[in-house]
Amino acid sequence: MANLISQPDGVPLKTKLHTFYRSPLFNAIILGLVSFTQPGIWSALAGLGAGGLATPFFVNAANVITFAIMIVLSPIFAIAGNRWSLKWVLVVGTIGYAPYSASLYTNSVYGTQWFMLFGAATCGISAAALWVSEAAIGVGYPEENKKGVYIAIWFGLNKIGTIIASSIELSLNLGNDQQGSISSETYLILIGLQCLGLPLALLISPINKLIRSDGTKPVIPERTTFAEGFRRFWRILKRPEIAALIPIFLTSQWAQTYEGNYLTTYFTVRSRALASFIITFLGLFVNIIFGWFLDYDRLSRATRARAGWIILVVAYTVTYVYNLVLEAEYGKANPSPVFDIETPGFARAVAVYCVFFIPYNAFAVWGYWILGCFDHKIENLTFSTAILRSGESLASTISYALGASKSVSLLKNLLVASVLFWAAIPTTTWSVWQVKEPKKIDEDSEYVNDDPQVVNVGVKGSGI
């Protein structure tokens, strides 16, 4: 609330409240709450494995539809956000998640499958809109020296919401020490929470009304035709430092399919709920710590970018090796082990699942932050984050298709995920080493990466 309390005492309270309402901090808080009610709830269900259902195969097939739609629509919503308003694209992003959660409920209670396919489609449309708009707002609205912290607030509130959802899941399923689906009442409560997303999204400020604490103004994207928007999107995609990040964007979500199948295969309902609860707390802690580190201005921006990437490489490598060792052991066991909270070996089995989400959540913050190092203009950030989301969605489409096949073993799924990550290290390392210190250039474009490859296509225009 620094924007509110730092103003002189003579300023009317109404003015202080208005300034805070239009501040990047307030928008980061609202964005986090929107994220909590939409992908946060989705993540809470995904954290149970199979969306809380008994088996992962049909859910994974439905997720293929979701992410396939996102591949196509993410760039389109990016262009729409620049042409009209990121706020209204965000509003669209709050409409389609609840039908998907409702479809999980009807499948669990009545065995209905067609509705899950419909819900997966609505979720894909809304997720494409929400992921692109929230990313551009989360990275583009804050002041340069507060990006890491505000991104952490956005992700942190997402995690706090998921903690609430996971607590509900755990409390309603604590007595179920068998494998199978979660309690149907769990879905009803989470659907109710998702319905809060739409009114919250309406509180987001349009870019032209944003009031930053340092007095700088974001450059408002020009309203262009869709054809021009696609040309500008392609121009951003061709930039070497952005294109070099695509492989890591592809791999960042890949292993989540394996982790969901792992949880469903080896754990009882209540142990799945407990694991989901643990990883949410872990994710919140990692988001805050990594966001703070990325804004630690006693280190140069290049040093923070490189150190963050090295930490991620080491953490992911340890995680994948640990997962491979245990999966090889569990996959050979006959009968296949089933872990409950009170079962010997539960701590070891759940630890490998939880450890994966340390680098996973750190990358979520780092990935957006690194894009912010290459661009500060909302228009460019909208396109670059759309590239990130399209890459993630493409990988998720393929990985969920593999996860939906009973012929693909968990070990094969995990091997593909780990090899793809290690293959992405060289290009990502090159891109990270292109990060330079922010450089003042003019009053409208306050900072830019000191790199001749940067393409500044945003110009002042009107905003909604």
pLDDT greater than 70 at residue 370: yes
Q: Give dist(CA 229, CA 240) in Å, integer.
A: 20
Q: What is the pLDDT of residues 174-233, one digit of tens each?
A: 766 655 566 677 788 889 999 999 999 999 999 888 888 888 877 777 777 778 888 888
Q: Comparing 12-26, 40-54, 218-232, 243-257, which segment has the lowest mean pLDDT? A: 40-54
pLDDT at 195: 94
pLDDT at 451: 40
The average pLDDT across 362-390 equals 84
Which class does domain 14-205+223-449 fall in?
mainly alpha
pLDDT at 455: 30
Q: Comparing 296-310, 380-394, 433-447, which segment has the lowest mean pLDDT? A: 433-447
Q: What is the pLDDT of residues 113-151, one digit of tens each?
A: 888 889 999 999 999 999 889 888 888 888 877 887 888
**Amino acid identity of 268?**
T
Answer yes or no: are the C-beta atoms of 381 and 232 closer than 8 Å. Answer: no
Is pLDDT larger for residue 337 or for residue 221? 337
Q: Give dist(CA 194, CA 432) in Å, integer.
A: 36
Answer yes or no: are the C-beta atoms of 77 and 129 closer than 8 Å. Answer: yes
**Amino acid identity of 446?**
E
Answer yes or no: are the C-beta atoms of 400 and 253 closer than 8 Å. Answer: no
Per-residue confidence band for 464, with pLDDT thresholds at 50, 70 and 90: very low
Q: How far apart are the first and last CA of the chain?
A: 25
pLDDT at 324: 94
For residue 142, give the nearest of 294, 248, 286 by alpha carbon: 294
Q: Give dist(CA 22, CA 30) in Å, integer.
A: 11
Residue 321, exposed/middle/buried by CB under 10 A (0-12, 13-18, 19+)?
Answer: exposed
Angle at 85 between CA 84 and CA 88, to 5 degrees: 115
Average pLDDT, the chain: 82
Which residues, in sequence order, are bridge partners of residue 339? 267
pLDDT at 175: 67
Per-residue confidence band for 47, with pLDDT thresholds at 50, 70 and 90: low
The rounded Cα 41 to chain-centroid distance in angstroms is 12
Phi first, then psi: give them for residue 438, nearest 5 degrees.
-65, 140
pLDDT at 178: 58
